[in-house]
């Protein structure tokens, strides 16, 4: 069965979003001519499949729950921000703050992600096919960030218990973020994440794992002048 199609060149964004929030919604949907529209397909709560054919603006697929959203283009600031569950796939590049504060689900950016990717993430999985910009995984509390390319300055600054895997180089690590041993369980975990994101051809052994050194967890009297 063909998906139900919405054309944003003819139908107002508010009407499209309202239709995607109908109680008990199911099935497949296609959104054409998004033309960089902001707040498209936000707050979805049903197990639907939504394909957006083109570029989107700010906060696309934010607060997602259960839905599968595919963006066939680039995404602006905050794609999949505060996502709870489901899957969001960006076939192109993502601007800053992709997956910020996300609690669950899987975000895949097949191209590059700009600054602050995965900041304050709280349990989601984020897989980036290319590079990530500076400040990525800042204050990341839980979840996993996989970077198949390089990472910018300040990776994992003030990180808590999130796990980071980077295949390329890291410009610099943020406060309390350190390289860690890649044990067998981490290789297995990473292999599963790469497969889920469509990158199963990667060798997990070629990645470096990063995480918290846990030096910022407790007050240190010797460092009181720095607080």
Mean pLDDT on 119-148: 98
**pTM of structure:** 0.95
Task: Please give the pLDDT value at position 203.
Answer: 95
Residue 217 pLDDT: 76
Contacts of residue 207, Cβ cutoff 8 Å, sequence gap at least 6 = 146, 165, 166, 167, 182, 190
Q: Which tens digit of pLDDT belongs to each residue from 77-120? A: 999 999 999 999 999 999 999 999 999 999 999 999 999 999 99
Asked if residues 111 and 90 have their Cβ atoms less than 8 Å apart, the reply is: yes
**Residue pointed to by tokens 């980071």:** 164
Class of residue 14 by CB neighbours under 10 A (exposed 0-12, middle 13-18, buried 19+)? exposed
Q: Is the pLDDT of residue 146 over 80?
A: yes
Distances (CA, A) of 7 to 13, 62, 109: 9, 20, 24
- pLDDT score of 18: 96
Q: Residue 225: what pLDDT?
A: 61
Identify the pLDDT of residue 128: 98
> How much of the chain, in percent, has pLDDT values that exceed 90?
92
Name the CATH topology of 4-226: Pectate Lyase C-like (2.160.20)
pLDDT in tens, 1-55: 789 999 999 999 999 999 999 988 999 999 999 999 999 999 999 999 999 999 9
pLDDT at 181: 97
């Amino acid at each position: 069965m063909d998906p139900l199609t919405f054309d944003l060149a003819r139908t107002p964004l508010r009407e499209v979003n309202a239709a995607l929030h109908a109680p008990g919604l199911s099935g497949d949907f296609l959104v054409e001519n998004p033309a960089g529209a902001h707040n498209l397909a936000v707050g979805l709560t049903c197990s639907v499949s939504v394909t957006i054919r083109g570029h989107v603006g700010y906060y696309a697929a934010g607060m997602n729950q259960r839905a599968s959203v595919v963006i066939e283009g680039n995404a602006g600031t905050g794609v999949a921000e505060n996502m709870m569950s489901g899957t969001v796939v960006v076939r192109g590049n993502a601007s800053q703050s992709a997956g910020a504060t996300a609690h669950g689900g899987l975000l895949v950016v097949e191209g590059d992600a700009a600054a602050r990717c995965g900041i304050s993430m709280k349990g989601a999985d984020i897989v980036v096919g290319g590079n990530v910009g500076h400040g990525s995984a800042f204050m990341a509390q839980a979840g996993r960030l996989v970077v198949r390319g390089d990472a910018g300055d300040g990776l994992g600054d003030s990180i808590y218990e999130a796990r980071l895997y980077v295949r390329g180089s890291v410009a610099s690590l943020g406060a309390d973020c350190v390289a860690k041993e890649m044990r067998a369980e981490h290789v297995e975990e990473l292999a599963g994440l790469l497969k889920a994101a469509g990158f199963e051809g990667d060798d997990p052994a070629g990645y470096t794992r990063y995480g918290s050194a846990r030096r910022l967890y407790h007050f240190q009297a010797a460092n009181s002048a720095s607080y």
